[in-house]
Amino acid sequence: MTSGIPTPGKIIAVHLNYPSRAAQRGRTPAQPSYFLKPASSLAPTGATLERPAGTELLAFEGEIAIIIGEPARRVSPAEGWKHVASVTAADDFGLYDLRAADKGSNVRSKGGDGFTPLGPAAIPAEGIGEGDWRVRTWVNGQLVQEDTSDTLLFPFGRLVADLSQLMTLETGDVILTGTPAGSSVVLPGDVVEVEVDAPGAPGAPTTGRLVTTITQGAAEFGDFGTKPATDDLQRVEAWGSDEELAAAVAAGRASAPASTAAADAAAPADPAFELTDELRADFGRVAVATLSVALRKRGYHDIFIEGVASTHPGDRIVGRAKTLRFIPFRPDLFQSHGGGFNAQKLAFDTVAPGEVLVVEARGERGTGTVGDVLALRAQVRGAAGIVTDGGVRDFDAVAGFAIPVFSQGAHPSVLGRRHVPWEVDVTIACGGAAVQPGDVIVGDGDGVIVIPPQLVEEVLAEALEQERQDAYVAEQVASGASVDGLFPMNAEWLARYRAAQEAR
């Protein structure tokens, strides 16, 4: 290899190991599973990697690679980490176009020349815990992956122990330990960089950036083997999600899917999505703060409806958005749009059972945007709640209703002081967040958050698991445990947590 990393006898890769990635895939494995990569797939930093002719779905996967020191055979999980000599960065490239070629072995989809860049430097593991590592990936200078080893489903020591039950892990063998959420497709001309470091260790050691530049290959596949083939499912999985594929199509980086499944992701609302009673109940068990963490991991940062609070302490709302937009007051426009059965009245008179009426008032709290009569109408219609980034008129009366109302607070003025009711069922900006009709709105004492429908199941699954972990941590603290290593949980505490979950 290069930079003092010798060519390994074995390169073993883990399929799924980060909760964020498992949530994307919609499955969490009970035990680790693996595949082998050939030594001929290794490449140093600064190398170029061809996307083979006739393919479109070459994807990167930034990973932490562990390098075996003392050979390991039938060691325990507690002993496994002691057999790791050093840690480096890896990029586990794969071609989704050939994913079906070898029935899960990944021989051709992940075994091509240059498909395993490694390096540039190896960090000695001595004195650094197995939960102390971080992996980050950049594409064209933009950070697209970041996660830490203390979140792994299967810690490093467990991987070493598991593999050593059947094979001797020899000095220099490399284990690729899985990739977090954020893996996606790269195109010719893209530059991918992966870095592994231990930011909390003395000196904050780092591998440096492992750089790979993607080029376009010219050699076509012959007729004497499986040829590349894709479908919409492979496109979605390669890009990471329906939403990422739709964004890539919009940016001209991907071809439009043949079916409507991914195309629907670009539409304001996904008609196939249903906010079931089961999903509503699950949202009732998850805090907005926890959901926000799961969304941030997927690149969604501006999903809070800022500055709003409920009329009732302890209120929660869950429902799909029905939207109403106000524009700034202008006499002629208010004359033409403010009277009669205007957009405001239409929105409150047509909100469906279980929907949340979300109002764009531009953060203007100097007038009311909803009063007692319209709030009562929404309640009678079975609305799950009202959210406005403006004020509420008849505040005490509205607070007396059962329906949750989140707003900027009370103001006695009528609508025409600052607003003209303009349109319903359009994309709006409420409290700094983009809201489309059909988005899922969740609110509690911490505020209100917006979740795109295509992300609901994976975000909710990850958040429920985080809530279980948080409850376990709280139990330990209540029993007298120190927060050192517990909050957040290190590898040892995660192992105890998983054992406790299995026991239940």
256 pLDDT tier (thresholds 50, 70, 90): low
Task: Of 63-67, 316-320, 334-338, 476-480, give the lowest mean pLDDT range.
Answer: 334-338
Going along the chain from its start, the domains and CATH numbers come out as 11-230 (3.90.850.10), 277-456 (3.50.30.40)
Enter the DSSP assignment of 139. E
Residue 441 pLDDT > 50: yes
Residue 260 pLDDT > 70: no
Residue 262 pLDDT > 60: no
Q: What is the pLDDT of residue 46?
A: 93
pLDDT in tens, 475-500: 999 999 898 888 888 888 888 888 88
φ, ψ (nearest 5 deg) of residue 471: -65, -40
Q: What is the pLDDT of residue 178?
A: 96
**Pairwise CA distance, residues 135 & 257, whole Å:** 32
Q: Which residues are annotated as a binding site for Mg(2+)?
A: 394
On the 0-12 / 13-18 / 19+ scale of CB atoms within 10 A, 241 is buried
Spell 323-347 as b/e; 16+ CB within 10 A means b.
Answer: bbbbbebeeeebeebbeeebbbbeb
Q: What is the pLDDT of residue 259?
A: 45
Residue 270 pLDDT > 70: no
Q: What is the pLDDT of residue 24?
A: 78
Q: Which residues are annotated as a binding site?
A: 371-374, 393-394
Could you tell me what percent of the chain has a pLDDT over 90? 69
Residue 437 pLDDT > 90: yes
Q: Which residues are annotated as a binding site for substrate?
A: 371-374, 393
Asked if residues 243 and 263 have their Cβ atoms less than 8 Å apart, the reply is no
pLDDT in tens, 349-366: 999 999 999 999 999 989
Q: What is the pLDDT of residue 266?
A: 39
Q: Which residue has the higher pLDDT, 396 or 240?
A: 396
166-188 average pLDDT score: 96
Q: Chain-wide mean pLDDT for the chain? A: 90
